[in-house]
Structure 1
Amino acid sequence: MSVFLLTACSSNSQPTFANKDNKNSSTQKKAVKASSKKTQHRAASSSSSSSSTKHETTRWNGAKAAALRKFMDQWQQTMDQQYESYTPAKNVNFYGAKYPDELANKTTAVNDQQASVEWSDTGSGNKEYEVVAVYSDAEYVQNMGEHLYIFTLHNGQPEVLITQQNQGMPDHLIHFKQTENKVLSTGFANIIKGQSATAPTSSSQSNSQKTVSIVPAALKRTWYGYDDDGKLNTVTITDDTLTAGGSKIYLHTRDNNIDPSQEPQHDDWGNASMGNIRGIDFLNVRGWNQTAGDGEYYGVKQENVAGQNIDVMVEAGGAGAWCSQTYYASVDLAKKQQGQKYDDITYYDDAD
């Protein structure tokens, strides 16, 4: 932020001690004027600098950090997860990388591009991403499905980044992307603005409105899969929830004759149904208020790999339920089968 220095003009009147009969009076006048300018110049500079610092530190402070902690306490309950806050005084061990100290090692990539980042207590600095908070569930997750969130000011704008990367990449970077969880990103943005942030609980956790699960037993677990860019993604499916890309959807069923646009708005509900397509029993999930589109499909198919039958979870979409990615029951298996295509699965590449 630029600091504007204001230089005051000295008065035209003589200083009270000036003696018109003194041959040095002219010199004294000039000295006093110069001194007055310097004094006022320093005062203006100090005032402007103080004002600038005050403005910058309002981006992030202790009160906003406390508001984020309170918000995260609420939000983690809606996700059925447990998170801790981490600072330079208390790092988290995220698959061997210590955060937030790792930020100083220039290993951060955002959307596959190396980014300049740093920890900032005020939210101000000269980096592209100023990190003001770090949250992770690493201490509570045992199945290689850990999440790491960094709360940043990206060129001054609030942005929440997430990674689930659990092993080294060829470029030696740790890859983050912007969270798809709208509740989380909106809550953080409100806190930055000095507004209140509350995570919804009643609508998403109302047992009286949840239906008997239609999810097949074969789908109920955490699945791991590498996408075309080599990034590990996870999908967790339970009786009545589906968590993918950092967002959790609560599964419900309804009469398909009901107009979704007339239903009460529920951003974190999904309309679930089952159907068999090309021999795969697919769970189809659409937004509760979605009026167009085909939603996402999730189904399990057995494939023979090295003489053994393994479960392959097919994630599909589009009008033809075309496969967009395959997932596996373990990270190791997902790594071994990375990029593998199966003859009896119809992929997007096969679509007419």
Structure 2
Amino acid sequence: MRLNRKLVLFLVFTGLMMVVTACASNKQPAFANKDSSTSTQKKTVKDSTRKNQSDVSASSSSEGTSSSSGSTKHETTRWNSAKAAALHKFMDQWQQTMDQQYESYTPAKNVNFYGVKYPNELAQKTTAVDDQQVSIEWSDTGSGTKEYEVVAVYSDAEHTQNMGEHLYLFALHNGQPEVLITQQNQGMPNHLIHFKQTENKVLSTGFANLVKGQSATVPNSSSQSKSQKTASIVPAALKRTWYGYDQDGKLNTVTITDDTLTADGSKVYLHVHDSNTDSSQNTEHSDWASVSQQSIRGINFVNLKGWNQTAGAGEYYGVKQESYNGQSIEVMVEAGGAGAWCSQTYYNTVDLAQKMQGQKYDDITYYDDAD
């Protein structure tokens, strides 16, 4: 019995030892693996965290730089040399449709526009747009602190001899593209040089596209029109450049040829409709005008309507002989409305236009006379 108890005790003791040993044997690898795994995981996580933090920091820094750079890029690359080159190419095409010849000017090469040097004149605070003095400057990038940042200047001053020179400023007005034009050829009482936005949609749209980084093209209709024009019915007396001051004191010009009419830089091509063709079925041509002759109150007018225009009176242009200081002078009458009422008169020289500014004639019916 004692042997049995000893045996039992021995066996129990041995069993306990085996259990302890087994537990210790099983636990150590598990602990070691866990520690190794945890250590490795911690190290990996730590390294990964460091890497992520580094990446985040780098990314943040990069984003900051990119954002800053992007912001700078946005501010400084509204205009660049590539866009300037594209504008030059566009102007080469556009000037052909206008039968004009333009040169590009920069601060390093100014144009002499009736004695005023551009673009350097921009710094003299003499610029007005729509009769309001504005802050304006030259900018290579289109960015700056002024209302108008001028990125390009084009003029036909070197190639025009009839006092009909054009000066275009291509500018960012509070970040938005605008093309400004002046034909002012003498000083004004307020000593400002007055500009307004061009009415030439091809020019303004082309510049806007270039600012956006898009291509700018000249519609084919202008060039197509040259091969489709009919015989001119424009009276010889009308074919020249005319000058007139409107009621606001602005000098306007109208140039008329056999088959074109250009008013303040906006040009249309003159055509005669085939009377057998329904005008509503004609191909769209935004820069074509349908021209016809009409005699109204003793004036031989040419009447211009949009090529696809189906209603409305259109515009009238005709020449009338008037007397000034005992001499006969030619007065070009621009009229409109159902009664062909005179809206402005023009003369064949700027000096005469200035002298006759505001002059009215008894035998011309003005808008003021309309019932």
Q: Scaled by the length of structure 2, what TM-score is found?
A: 0.82
Matched residue of 1:349: which SS? helix
2:5 is aligned to none
Return closer, same or farther for 1:193/1:45 CA change in 2, 3 Å cut-off: closer
Matched residue of 2:90: which SS? helix
2:142 is aligned to 123
In the alignment, the residues of structure 2 paired with residue 202 and residue 278 of structure 1 have an alpha-carbon distance, to the nearest angstrom, of 35
In the alignment, the residues of structure 1 paired with residue 125 and residue 210 of structure 2 have an alpha-carbon distance, to the nearest angstrom, of 28
Residue from 300, 308, 316 that aligns with 1:297: 316
Within the alignment, does 1:278 sit opposite 2:297 as a pair?
yes
In the alignment, the residues of structure 2 paired with residue 98 and residue 208 of structure 1 have an alpha-carbon distance, to the nearest angstrom, of 39
Q: What does 1:184-199 align with in structure 2 at a 5 Å threshold? A: 184-199=203-218
Residue from 154, 163, 172 that aligns with 2:182: 163
Q: Is the 8 A contact 1:241 1:249 kept in 2?
A: yes
Q: Is the 8 A contact 2:111 2:119 kept in 1?
A: yes
In the alignment, the residues of structure 2 paired with residue 250 and residue 163 of structure 1 have an alpha-carbon distance, to the nearest angstrom, of 22
In the alignment, the residues of structure 2 paired with residue 74 and residue 46 of structure 1 have an alpha-carbon distance, to the nearest angstrom, of 40
Question: What 5-or-longer segments of structure 1 have no aligned partner?
Answer: 1-38
Structure 1 stretch 291-300 or stretch 159-168: which is displaced more?
Answer: 291-300
Measured on the aligned residues, the alpha-carbon RMSD in Å equals: 2.1
Structure 1 stretch 199-208 or stretch 285-294: which is displaced more?
Answer: 199-208
Residue from 173, 183, 195 that aligns with 1:154: 173
1:62 is aligned to 81
2:242 is aligned to 223
Residue from 330, 335, 342 that aligns with 2:361: 342
1:22 is aligned to none
1:262 is aligned to 281
Q: Is the 8 A contact 2:112 2:118 kept in 1?
A: yes
Residue from 324, 336, 354 that aligns with 1:317: 336
For residues 63-116 of structure 1, the C-alpha deviation after alignment (integer angstroms, 9 at most, x for no partner) is 100100000000000000000000111110111111111111111100111111
2:104 is aligned to 85
In the alignment, the residues of structure 2 paired with residue 208 and residue 44 of structure 1 have an alpha-carbon distance, to the nearest angstrom, of 56
Return closer, same or farther for 1:274/1:177 CA change in 2, 3 Å cut-off: same
Return closer, same or farther for 1:70/1:170 CA change in 2, 3 Å cut-off: same
Q: Is the 8 A contact 1:323 1:348 kept in 2?
A: yes
Q: Is the 8 A contact 1:280 1:300 kept in 2?
A: yes
- Structure 1 residue 208: Cα displacement: 3.4
In the alignment, the residues of structure 1 paired with residue 61 and residue 89 of structure 2 have an alpha-carbon distance, to the nearest angstrom, of 42
In the alignment, the residues of structure 2 paired with residue 110 and residue 234 of structure 1 have an alpha-carbon distance, to the nearest angstrom, of 18
1:210 is aligned to 229
Residue from 115, 121, 129 that aligns with 1:110: 129
In the alignment, the residues of structure 2 paired with residue 54 and residue 347 of structure 1 have an alpha-carbon distance, to the nearest angstrom, of 54
In the alignment, the residues of structure 2 paired with residue 168 and residue 203 of structure 1 have an alpha-carbon distance, to the nearest angstrom, of 35
In the alignment, the residues of structure 1 paired with residue 66 and residue 207 of structure 2 have an alpha-carbon distance, to the nearest angstrom, of 31
- Structure 1 residue 43: Cα displacement: 8.1
Return closer, same or farther for 1:207/1:160 CA change in 2, 3 Å cut-off: closer
- Structure 1 residue 199: Cα displacement: 1.1
- Structure 1 residue 209: Cα displacement: 1.3
In the alignment, the residues of structure 2 paired with residue 141 and residue 187 of structure 1 have an alpha-carbon distance, to the nearest angstrom, of 24
In the alignment, the residues of structure 2 paired with residue 336 and residue 190 of structure 1 have an alpha-carbon distance, to the nearest angstrom, of 42
Q: Scaled by the length of structure 1, what TM-score is found?
A: 0.86
In the alignment, the residues of structure 2 paired with residue 40 and residue 73 of structure 1 have an alpha-carbon distance, to the nearest angstrom, of 45
1:36 is aligned to none
Task: Provide the identity percentage.
Answer: 81
2:194 is aligned to 175
In the alignment, the residues of structure 2 paired with residue 43 and residue 188 of structure 1 have an alpha-carbon distance, to the nearest angstrom, of 33
For residues 96-148 of structure 1, the C-alpha deviation after alignment (integer angstroms, 9 at most, x for no partner) is 11111111111110011111111111111121111110000000011110000
Q: Is the 8 A contact 1:225 1:334 kept in 2?
A: yes
Q: Is the 8 A contact 2:221 2:287 kept in 1?
A: no
Matched residue of 2:157: which SS? coil
Letter in 2 for 1:168: G
Structure 1 stretch 257-266 or stretch 316-325: which is displaced more?
Answer: 257-266
In the alignment, the residues of structure 2 paired with residue 220 and residue 103 of structure 1 have an alpha-carbon distance, to the nearest angstrom, of 35
- Judging by fraction of residues, say which structure has more helix: 2
In the alignment, the residues of structure 2 paired with residue 170 and residue 41 of structure 1 have an alpha-carbon distance, to the nearest angstrom, of 57
Q: Is the 8 A contact 2:202 2:218 kept in 1?
A: yes
In the alignment, the residues of structure 1 paired with residue 63 and residue 274 of structure 2 have an alpha-carbon distance, to the nearest angstrom, of 70
- Structure 1 residue 48: Cα displacement: 4.1
In the alignment, the residues of structure 1 paired with residue 93 and residue 245 of structure 2 have an alpha-carbon distance, to the nearest angstrom, of 31
In the alignment, the residues of structure 2 paired with residue 65 and residue 56 of structure 1 have an alpha-carbon distance, to the nearest angstrom, of 16
Q: Is the 8 A contact 2:273 2:279 kept in 1?
A: no
Matched residue of 1:208: which SS? coil
Q: What does 1:19-30 align with in structure 2 at a 5 Å threshold? A: none
Q: Is the 8 A contact 2:97 2:222 kept in 1?
A: no
Residue from 237, 240, 255 that aligns with 1:236: 255
Q: Is the 8 A contact 1:204 1:269 kept in 2?
A: no
